[in-house]
Amino acid sequence: MAPPTIPIIPMDNFNFTTPQRPLTWLITGSSSGFGLAITRHAQANGHKVLATSRNPSKTPDLVQEIESKGGRWLPLDLDDRDNTRVINDLEAEGVAIDVLVNNAGSALLQAAECITEDEARAQFETVFFGPYRLTRAVLPHMRERRFGIIVNISTGASLEGRESMGIYAASKAAFDGLTKVMAKEVAEFNVRTLTVYLGGFNTYFSSSLRAGSEPLPGDYDESAVGKALKFMHGGKYVADGDTWKGAKVVYDVVTGEGPGAGKEGELNLPLGRDMEARVKLVRDRMDHCWKVFGSAATKVSVKADN
């Protein structure tokens, strides 16, 4: 007899419902890229938007645009360990956050051996702990109201990263892994999650790239790492993904419209033409390793036959 196990409940067992009313969206990193595009799509479709950025004073025209249409623009720094006060203050005002979009972030590119521990921790502070704090702050309210949507804008690098993207991929993958489990924990409260794996899009991503403080050893100069760093930091990276179109797909999946109609239980959204090859690579690799080691992997239980 097989030992008892904890059953895995398929996500399609849950019947998620969305209120038929305008939703209130809190979006981080609203000053550019996907954050701005999602903010505009949500507002254009009659939803209430709470846009945020680290320094709203740097984008007065955008602040005026959003607020002139009934939205609000709030300062929010992901590295601030007290950033949850934004959510707490809003909820105390009676503003019920229906959708949290964790979009803001940055990327440190460097060979793994050259990244300092301080740099690694700073990367995780922004990309993992910052959104984790916000998510923890909003979940009790969503759970109590029996509705909420957490949207995490991730990256294809968390599935399969290029050379030099190790710590960036790790920070994104950590939050993806947390979200995958959290989705199972909150589904019965009609709270769902969506992780968006972005491919290459025409955002200002290259402007958010940071170089490590440690010099790259000469051995790496003409290696895949060295070439990747020169490519990314040299202004040669040109993506063909249209941010406006991509953000519309995210909006549709969140609201259950267009390609998102009837797909409320979907946890993952790979987005971008280049993601097709990356998803196939990951799937094929896992299939391959199981074919190679599967017979051995299934014979390691206490009473397994040798």
Neighbours of 250 (CB within 10 A): 24
Catalytically active residues, by annotation: 168
Which DSSP string corresponds to 40-82?
Answer: HHHHHTT-EEEEEES-GGG-HHHHHHHHHTT-EEEE--TT-TT
Contacts of 130 (CB under 8 A, 6+ apart): 78, 79, 83, 104
Backbone dihedral region for residue 76 (phi beyond 0: left; psi -120 to 50: alpha; all else: beta): beta
The two structure tokens encoding residue 200: 């290459």
CA distances from 245 to 102, 224, 238 (A): 19, 32, 17
Tokens of 237: 């990276």
10's CB contacts (< 8 A; 6+ apart) are: none
Whole-Å CA distances, 234 to 121, 166, 210, 226, 229 = 26, 19, 12, 12, 8
